[in-house]
Amino acid sequence: MTFTMVVTAWIIGAASGLIKGLIFNPKKLIDLSFNVFGGIIGAGLGFNTLGFFGPTIFDIRIIPTILTALLLSVMLTYTLNAIRTDITHDGKTV
């Protein structure tokens, strides 16, 4: 694993997290930064665990990197929103 492979995975993860954040909730800047962070971590996980299929850029498989970046970004956003709100899943306030 070379330095360009790591940087490329980080760029792909940050871009996918940024795009996810801009599509779903563009007005909250803190959520946008967590989406980018989740995208970077997810891209690293996808690069190391699922990197067996899809087209390559700088020896990085693009499809598993983007999928795991988006998945971890969604999971992180959902978890943070669940922690920050005082509303249960039934819609009732605590």
State yes or no: pLDDT of 94 exceeds 60.
no
Rounded Cα distance, 84 and 89, in Å: 13
Say if CB 40 and CB 17 are below 8 A apart: yes
Render pLDDT for 11-62 as a digit per residue (tens, 0 to 9).
Answer: 888 888 778 777 776 667 666 777 777 777 877 777 777 767 778 877 778 8
pLDDT of residue 7: 82
Q: What is the 3-state secondary structure (H, E, C) of 3-49?
A: HHHHHHHHHHHHHHHHHHHHHHCCCCHHHHHHHHHHHHHHHHHHHHH
Cβ-contact 20, 73 below 8 angstroms = yes
The chain-wide mean pLDDT, for the chain, equals 76
Q: What is the pLDDT of residue 90?
A: 63
**What pLDDT does residue 44 have?**
77
Which residue reads 């959520």 in tokens?
31
